[in-house]
């Protein structure tokens, strides 16, 4: 099967029912996508498929409907995505395990809602769990990223 990840097309020889999470991590080496719960409840495995935030642990490789973007493809160290830059500025990460999923969910939100309210942010990220409890900093970082994205 062919799979486009971070704008690069890959020919893969994997079982059709293999979860996208394991294709990304084990076959393609994108370890920024994390395994958390395996039942789409924690959000650690969040990636974008055609810009939509999805839980990669629950998407079969054969069911991927478009281009996949992982945290590794969202921005670069030289040119981070505004959400990534805001995460650093607000020192959101503590243990960091959930952060790639949080960032991917936040980036998808900001692609749809330019100036999200606290409620919009809470609703969009409610399925992404952070055991360290950095939710206040997450919300602040999303607000900062939204403001910077509006500035251009």
Of the residues 54, 73, 92, the one at which a domain ends: 73
CA atoms within 13 A on the CB side of 22: 12
Q: Can you give the pTM of this predicted structure?
A: 0.96
DSSP one-letter code for 17: T
Whose structure tokens read 């498929």? 49
CA torsion through residues 134, 87, 22, 66, sign = positive
Decide: helix, strand or coil at residue 137: helix
Chain center to CA of 69: 8
Kindly state whether residues 61 and 44 are assigned to the same domain. yes
pLDDT tens digits for 29-85?
999 999 999 999 999 999 999 999 999 999 999 999 999 999 999 999 999 999 999
Of the residues 50, 73, 96, the one at which a domain ends: 73
Q: Structure tokens of 3?
A: 């799979």
Number of CB atoms found within 10 A of residue 132's CB: 14
Kindly state whether residues 91 and 53 are assigned to the same domain. no
Q: State the residue range of the domain holding 143.
A: 75-151
pLDDT tens digits for 88-106?
999 999 888 999 999 999 9
Cα–Cα nearest to 70, from 103, 37, 38: 103
């Amino acid at each position: 099967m062919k799979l486009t990840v971070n704008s690069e097309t890959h020919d893969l020889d994997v079982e059709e029912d293999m979860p996208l999470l394991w294709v990304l991590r084990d076959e393609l080496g994108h370890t920024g996508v994390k395994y958390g719960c395996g039942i789409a409840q924690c959000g650690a495995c969040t990636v974008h498929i055609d810009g939509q935030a999805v839980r990669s642990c629950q998407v079969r490789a054969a069911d991927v409907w478009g281009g996949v973007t992982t945290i590794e493809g969202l921005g670069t160290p030289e040119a981070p995505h505004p959400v990534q830059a805001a995460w650093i500025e607000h020192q959101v990460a503590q243990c960091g395990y959930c952060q790639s999923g949080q960032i991917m969910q936040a980036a998808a939100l900001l692609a749809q809602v330019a100036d999200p309210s606290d409620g919009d942010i809470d609703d969009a990220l409610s399925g992404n769990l952070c055991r360290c409890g950095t939710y206040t900093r997450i919300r602040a970082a999303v607000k900062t990223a939204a403001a910077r994205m509006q500035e251009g």
